[in-house]
Amino acid sequence: MDIYLDNSATTKPYKEVIDKMVYALSTDYANPSSLHRKGIEVEKNIKNIRQSIARTLGAKDKEIYFTSGGTEANNAIIRGVANLHKKRKNHIISTVIEHPSVLNTLKDLEEDGFEVTYLPVDTTGKIDIEAFKQAIKPSTCLVSIMHVNNEVGSIQPIQEIGKYLKSLNDKVYLHIDAVQSYSKINFKPSRYNIDFMSVSGHKFHGPKGIGFMYIKENNRLKPILTGGGQEIGIRSGTENTPGIYGLGEAVSIINKDLNSTIDKINSLKNSLKDEIERNIDDIKINSPEDGVCHILNVSFRGVKGEVLLHYLEQKGIYVSTGSACSSKKKGSHVLNEMNLAPVEIEGAIRFSLSDLNTEEDIKSVIPVLVESVNDLRMIMKRR
């Protein structure tokens, strides 16, 4: 048995993605900036990929900029916007449950003299829209909020936030970390009044080390990478052609019938949730009812999440205790902020699904999970 339920950490690349990357490495290896035929061919292919990505978002080609992934996109946007407005406005609004690539960037900016308001979340992992409105000051230059939380799957009210920011007299930019929402929620940034957005390829069966930023036309930022002026000067460095080709393929496959794919994943998540609730007692579902389609976070009281993870791994089932980035540290900052009891934080497991999972996977996982939780609870009691 080999059942992979850790798709929020990363996904298995589609076979077509790997084929495209091999083609880029073996055939389309020329530098897209080169003036000869081979370079021009690669440049044309990258242009087409940019266009197809833009189309999935109802955006313009020139609003898409390739990066090395979500971490770089978050850094480039937050630092780039903050540093551009530094002299006039130095206040940023974010939340307490952001990914470390946002939280640590903000911490760094605080050391540089920026003021950051971290909005709290309720027990369902959501911010309060009124508290958000209250947090805005004349010195606010940027609001940076994750669309979907990577540990519990809570969805923030981005549309309401965007609408409110648009109604203000003074421009406040809106950045969305969409790493866990692109391809899981069908949305268009312009309808949400989003100014900047970060996306990562390896979360939807693309390669690792590639992603993109959406930057609304005419919005500016101060680039963090300077060099040869690639990506219209916003992100210098020779293009990661294999990554871009692979990303383009993943984007085109996942968007073929996105609404059905989302429904399928959501239905798998509901089956998993129902079966866990029916078969295992003394649990707590930490993901909100109206959360994203692919994340189910559950606390098994009386069990250590990390021990359960390794127990399941021995039986060929791969899950996570929280986010891959924070799992080596103590306790989840997200579950802490959601006010979970220590015993619930300790016993938390994140199941995260993709379109490559099946109902059969869920059927196979349940008996193993039931047995594992029972075994571990017995062992804990005997101690």
Ligand X SMILES: Cc1ncc(COP(=O)(O)O)c(C=O)c1O
The b/e string for 157-190 (b: 16+ C-beta within 10 A; e otherwise) is: ebeebbebbeeeeeebbbbbbbbbbbbbbebebb
Q: Which of 200, 297, 299, 321 binds ligand X (CB under 6 A)?
A: 200
Residue 51 CB-density burial (10 A; 0-12 exposed, 13-18 middle, 19+ buried): middle
Catalytic member of 325, 378, 379, 380: 325
Question: Looking at beta carbons only, is 99 or 333 nearer to ligand X?
Answer: 99
Binding mask of the shown chain, residues 90 to 129, with x at each position contacting ligand X by CB under 6 A? ---------x-x----------------------------
189 contributes a contact to ligand X by CB under 6 A: no
- The alpha carbon of 252 is separated from its chain's Cα centroid by a whole number of angstroms, namely 18
Supply the minimum distance, in Å, between the C-beta of residue 66 and ligand X. 12
What is the rounded CA–CA span in Å between residue 211 and residue 66? Answer: 6
Contacts of 343 (CB under 8 A, 6+ apart): 299, 301, 302
Applying CB under 6 A, does 207 fall inside the site for ligand X? no
Nearer to ligand X, 192 or 311 (CB): 192
69 touches 210 (CB < 8 A):
yes
CB of 94 to ligand X, least distance (A): 12
Residue 370 C-alpha from the chain's centroid: 30
Quick one: 156 or 261, whose CB is closer to ligand X? 156
Confirm if 174 and 124 have CB atoms less than 8 A apart.
no
Alpha helices, DSSP H only, in the chain? 15-26, 37-56, 70-85, 100-111, 129-135, 158-167, 241-254, 258-279, 305-314, 333-337, 342-346, 359-382
Which residue number, 91 or 202, has a Cβ lying nearer to ligand X? 202
Q: Please tell me what DSSP assigns to residue 13.
A: P
- Closer residue to ligand X (CB): 89 or 269: 269
Judged by CB under 6 A, how many residues of this single chain contact ligand X?
A: 15
Whether 293 sits among the annotated catalytic residues: the reply is no
- Pick one of 144, 150, 287, 326: the residue that binds ligand X (CB under 6 A): 150
Q: By CB under 6 A, what part of segment 307-336 binds ligand X?
A: 323, 325
Whole-angstrom distance, CA of residue 73 vs CA of residue 177:
9
Within 10 angstroms of residue 310's Cβ, the number of other Cβ atoms is: 11
- Binding ligand X (rule: CB under 6 A), the pick from 90, 95, 180, 230 is 180
**Stretch of 86-94, 114-122, 174-182, 292-300 lying at the interface with ligand X (CB under 6 A):** 174-182
Q: In terms of CB distance, is 63 or 177 closer to ligand X?
A: 177
Q: In the stretch 57-76, what mask flags binding to ligand X with x, by CB under 6 A?
A: ------------xxx--x--
Find how far residue 2's CA is from the centre of its chain. 24
**Catalytic residues, which ones?**
325
Residues binding ligand X (CB under 6 A): 69-71, 74, 99, 101, 146, 150, 177, 179-180, 200, 211, 323, 325
